[in-house]
Chains A and B, each alone.
Chain A
């Protein structure tokens, strides 16, 4: 069964304290690994798509990487405005849908 597990559930960082979020997955046929950011009461905002192991993508303080079993979202020198829930999703669900993890709630304190 296709599955996505994100860890940790919650992460508190001080401003400038770099860290990584983990997304572990099992899938019969990967058709993309997606990262989204979601602010309270809003829809998920697209960040990155990764398609093959070894691929990396960067955007400002965020960098996403992909292996055959995991994806990491690295946050370098975070700022309070990076506080949000970060969602990882698998493409290739049995119904052609995205399969989401439960998310990591990131809080960055000044």
Chain B
């Protein structure tokens, strides 16, 4: 069974630009959660999508947004990039919404903002 895939793996952008990251879940997984990982803050929850609907959202500004498609693939978008947005962005997928089921992570997208 193929694992969670994320594209691209690396991105370099400049301040003010926007970026779109993609996550394809494990087959049969319908819930996709996004996390930001930085050395100082660790892993922080961005949002969760299930059945094309955002179920939950973490404490991030509105510049961070996402969506989910009918095939459960998800994208997240960050507009007006800031230096502090440099991080490893991880998506995690599970069969059902909520966190009682194990979430499986992708390899991440390393975003560098210059």
Please list the residues of chain A having a beta carbon within 8 angstroms of any beta carbon in chain B: 31-32, 34, 36, 41-46, 49, 87, 89, 91-93, 95-103
Number of interface residues of B (CB under 8 A): 28
CB distance from A9 to the nearest CB of B (A): 11
- Knowing A31-B98, A97-B33, A97-B58 are in contact, say whether A42-B48 is a contact too (CB < 8 A): no
Chain B 36-56 per-residue mask, 1 if CB under 8 angstroms from chain A, else 0: 000000111100100000011
Query: A87, B43: Cβ atoms under 8 Å?
Result: yes
CB distance from A86 to the nearest CB of B (A): 13
Query: A96, B55: Cβ atoms under 8 Å?
Result: yes
Q: List 22 A-B contacts (CB under 8 A).
A: A32-B99, A36-B105, A41-B88, A42-B107, A42-B108, A43-B4, A43-B105, A43-B107, A46-B104, A87-B43, A91-B98, A91-B99, A95-B58, A96-B55, A96-B56, A96-B98, A97-B48, A97-B58, A97-B99, A98-B92, A102-B42, A103-B42
Q: Which residues of A are found within 8 Å of B81, using beta-carbon distances? A: none
The B interface, classified by DSSP as helix, strand, loop or mixed, is: strand
Provide the bound-state CA to CA distance between A83 and B67, in Å: 36
Query: A46, B102: Cβ atoms under 8 Å?
Result: yes
- Knowing A42-B108, A43-B106, A44-B105 are in contact, say whether A98-B90 is a contact too (CB < 8 A): no
For A99, give the chain B residue with the smallest CB separation. B45
The answer, among B48, B55, B100, B110, for a CB contact under 8 Å with A31, is B100
Q: Which residues of B are found within 8 Å of A96, using beta-carbon distances? A: 48, 55-56, 97-99
Q: Which residues of B are found within 8 Å of A44, using beta-carbon distances? A: 43, 90, 105
Q: Which residues of A are found within 8 Å of B110, using beta-carbon distances? A: 41
CB distance from A35 to the nearest CB of B (A): 11
CB distance from A28 to the nearest CB of B (A): 14
Q: Which residues of B are found within 8 Å of A41, using beta-carbon distances? A: 88, 108, 110
Q: Which residues of A are found within 8 Å of B88, using beta-carbon distances? A: 41
Query: A95, B56: Cβ atoms under 8 Å?
Result: yes
5 other contacts beyond A32-B100, A42-B108, A46-B103, with CB at 8 A cut-off? A34-B102, A43-B90, A49-B102, A96-B98, A96-B99
Provide the bound-state CA to CA distance between A99 and B59, in Å: 13
